[in-house]
């Protein structure tokens, strides 16, 4: 079988100018562009970000993924989605799967990568890195994430604030993605660790409605937008904002 190449392409955090030249080149070359979308509304932010760079007429296929944590339902959906991707590659066509930020950081591309590699190790896969949300967040807030002998950790708020305790013990700064669902619990943990004043909330970075909240105590505890993350520095902020 003459398979084309599957490209995992990071489109960056939201600002269409924060996409790499290489990503644009690949997007203009492939036969099909795939993107994950909710099965509820088929909306894909990655497509919105990439669209100024797509040639008119290139087919954009939304791969539905169910909003569930049921592992079996998710695994079945991704097996089916991977089959669709492989079908496209069969005639030697190249295809791109686009994702927000970087394709290897908390990305739906991970499911496709694993499933395609497992079922068809002969299919060539190339990954085009993207600027991550937290790199854009660090730039927007003007804060150094890590320097010198230091270390920083990237974690998720999906399981609540618990992991923060563990990470702040080991890293000089911590980035927490996906903070919307358990926001109140995460705030409580920050208070408990006396880190509220060392935390900044970055929402919709580089997009319409961008919001940067330096003083979390001034904001109520309603969940922020899905596109939000926290940057937590154990040291004080570099300069007062």
Interacting residue ranges for ligand SAM, rule: CB under 6 A: 13-14, 99-102, 105-107, 132-133, 137, 177-178, 202-207, 226-229
Phi and psi of 131, rounded to 5°? -70, 130
CA–CA separation, 206 and 78 (whole Å): 30
> Least distance in Å: CB of 101 to ligand SAM?
2
Enumerate the β-bridge partners of residue 10: 99
Residue 191: helix, strand or coil by DSSP? helix
Cβ contacts of 56 within 8 Å, gap of 6 or more: none
> Least distance in Å: CB of 181 to ligand SAM?
9
24 vs 49 by CB, closer to ligand SAM: 49
61 vs 154 by CB, closer to ligand SAM: 154
> Least distance in Å: CB of 78 to ligand SAM?
14
> Least distance in Å: CB of 108 to ligand SAM?
7
93 vs 129 by CB, closer to ligand SAM: 129
Residue pair 131/23 in contact by the 8 Å Cβ criterion: no
Residue pair 131/12 in contact by the 8 Å Cβ criterion: yes
CA–CA separation, 19 and 4 (whole Å): 23
4 vs 14 by CB, closer to ligand SAM: 14
Question: What 8-state DSSP symbol labels residue 90?
Answer: T
CA–CA separation, 219 and 78 (whole Å): 38
> Least distance in Å: CB of 56 to ligand SAM?
26
Q: Report CA 137 to chain centroid distance, whole Å.
A: 12
4 vs 157 by CB, closer to ligand SAM: 157
């Amino acid at each position: 079988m003459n398979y084309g190449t599957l490209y995992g392409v990071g489109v960056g955090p939201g600002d269409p100018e924060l996409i790499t030249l290489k990503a644009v080149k690949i997007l203009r070359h492939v036969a099909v562009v795939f993107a994950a979308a909710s099965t509820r509304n088929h909306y894909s932010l990655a497509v919105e970000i990439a669209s100024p760079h797509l040639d008119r007429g290139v087919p954009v296929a939304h791969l539905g993924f169910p909003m569930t944590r049921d592992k079996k339902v998710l695994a079945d959906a991704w097996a089916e989605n991977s089959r669709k991707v492989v079908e496209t590659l069969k005639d030697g066509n190249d295809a791109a799967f686009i994702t927000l930020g970087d394709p290897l950081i908390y990305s739906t591309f991970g499911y496709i990568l694993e499933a395609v590699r497992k079922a068809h190790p002969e299919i060539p896969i190339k990954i085009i890195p993207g600027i991550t949300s937290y790199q854009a967040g660090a730039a927007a807030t003007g804060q150094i994430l890590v320097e010198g002998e230091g270390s920083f950790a990237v974690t998720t708020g999906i399981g609540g604030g618990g992991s923060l305790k563990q990470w702040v013990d080991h890293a000089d700064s911590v980035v927490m993605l996906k903070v919307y669902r358990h926001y109140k619990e995460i705030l409580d943990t920050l208070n408990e660790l006396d880190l509220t004043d060392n935390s900044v909330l970055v929402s919709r970075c580089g997009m319409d409605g961008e919001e940067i909240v330096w003083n979390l105590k001034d904001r109520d505890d309603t969940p922020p937008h899905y596109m939000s993350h926290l940057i937590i520095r154990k040291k004080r902020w570099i300069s007062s904002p």
